[in-house]
Amino acid sequence: MLEEFLKKLVSYLKVPKAEIVLLLEKDHFISRLSIGVGERNGIVLPKNNALVQHFEKHPDEILERDYLAYLVPKEEHRKEELLNLHKELDKLGYALAVPITVKRVIIGILFLGEKISRDIFSSQDIQLLEIVGKHAGPVIESARLFEQTQQLNKELLTANQAKSHFITIVSHQFRTPLSAIRMNAELLEDNLKKRFLSAVDETESVQIIQERAIFMVNMLENVFDGMAIDAHKVSVDKKPAVIWEIFDNVKKEISREIEKRRINFILDKSPELLQEIDIDIPKITKVVKILLENAASYNKEGGIIEVKMNKVTDEEKRFIQCSVKDEGIGVPPEDANKIFEKFYRSPNAMNLVPNGTGLGLFIAKNFVELHGGKLWVASQPGQGSTFYFTLPED
C-alpha cells in the first residue's frame, strides 16, 4: 500500500525519485521505501541530523533546497542553519523534504527529487505534500504496527488457539477502514487535478482518512495490550491523580462521538472525591475511555451517559467506586461475565456495532485488577447498562 502510494505521488509530481525514511530504531531514521534511487544504500539519519532536528522544532514546515538557497543571503541571522539544511539536502541528492508526523511528532521524512522538467514545485504541489505529511503519518504508523503484528503472529503461531482468532479479527477489521482510506485518498488526488470537490467535501474526506487511521491504531494498541496481559508483561506505575479529572479529560477526547449521537453526558463531581489517589494514570485513562466509548456506541440516540463516584468499604478496605450508566441495548444475563473474556462480543452488540475486537473490556478488567480493584456490570437487555469499577483509596 505504501509503495503504491509513493508511485502515484512520484507520477503526479513528475519527479524521477523519492524515498521515505522512518524512525525504525531508537535513534535513527532509516530508509523504508524508495523509487528511482538505483542500487545505492538507503538513507540512515541519526536524530542529531540537521534535518531531523529542524523538523522536531518545525513539524509543519516543508524544506525546499532551492528556496533555502534563496533565503541564505536574505536572513543573515539564520544563515548557518539554512546553509546546513541546504547542504544536507544536496548531500542526499534531493530537492524537497516533507516531515511525516503523528500528533505533531515526527515519525519519518519523505524526500523528493527535483522535477524532471526542472520546474519549481507549485503552491498546489506544496499544499498536497502538506496534506500527505500530516495525514500519511497515522496511516504509516498503522501499517507499521500491522507489520509488527504479522511478525509477532509468525513467531507465536504455535503458542495457542487464540492466534488464529486474532488474525481473523484483525484482517476483518482492517478491510473496511483501509478501503475507506484508499477511496478518499484517491478522491483527493483526483480532485487536485480536476477540482470538483467543495472545501467541505475535501475536509470530510480528510476527516474520514484520519478517523479510519485512528481506529486502526487504537485497535492495534488493544491487540498489543491484550498480548502483554497474556504474557504477564503488564505492570503499574502509580502516580497521584484525581479520578473525575480523568473522566472529564476522556469526555473531551470523545466529545465528537457524543455530540454526533446527541448524548447527554452527566458527570457527578462530588466534592468529597477531590482528593488524589495513587494510580497508573495511562492505564486507568484507558479503562475510562473504553467504558465511555462503549456507553456512547451502544447508547440510544439522544440517550444519557451518567457517571457517578462514591466511597465504599469492602472487607475493611476503602475504595473509590465509579459507575458509568447508559440507556443503550443492555447486556443479556448469559453474557454478563463473557463480555470480559478476550475476543468475546455479545450478538446484540455485534449487530449494532459490527467493528470491534472484543478486547476492550478484557483489557479494562485486567487493568483495574492490577490496581487491586474490580470491574463488573449490572444490566438488562433493552434497559441500558451500568458498569462499575473500584480502585483502592490508599
Coil, strand or helix at 160: coil
Domains of the chain by residue range: 1-121, 166-231, 239-392
Residue 358 phi, psi (nearest 5): 75, 25
SS (H, E, C) 299-351: CCCCCEEEEEEEEEEECCEEEEEEEEECCCCCCCHHHCCHHHCCCCCCHHHHH
Cα–Cα distances (Å) from 298 to 89, 172, 184, 258, 378, in that order, read 51, 21, 27, 11, 15
Tell me: domain 239-392, CATH 3.30.565.10, correct?
yes
Residue bearing cell 475486537? 357
Q: What is the mean pLDDT of residues 183-187?
A: 61
Tell whether the model's pLDDT for residue 349 goes beyond 70: yes
- Mean pLDDT score, 129-140: 84
What does pTM read for this prediction? 0.53
The pLDDT tens digits of the residues spanning 254-302 come to 888 898 889 999 988 777 777 889 999 999 999 999 999 999 999 999 9
Does position 246 have pLDDT exceeding 90, yes or no? yes
- Where residue 33 falls among pLDDT bands split at 50, 70, 90? confident
Question: What pLDDT does 174 receive?
Answer: 58
64 closest CA partner among 107, 126, 127: 126
Query: Domain 166-231 maps to which CATH number in 1.10.10.10, 1.10.287.130, 3.40.50.11780, 3.40.50.2000?
Result: 1.10.287.130
Q: Is 335 exposed, middle or buried (0-12, 13-18, 19+ CB in 10 A)?
A: buried
Using DSSP bridges, classify how beta strands 304-314 and 264-267 pair: parallel, antiparallel or unpaired: parallel
CATH homologous superfamily of 1-121: GAF domain (3.30.450.40)
325 band by pLDDT with thresholds 50, 70 and 90: very high
SS3 103: coil
pLDDT at 186: 62
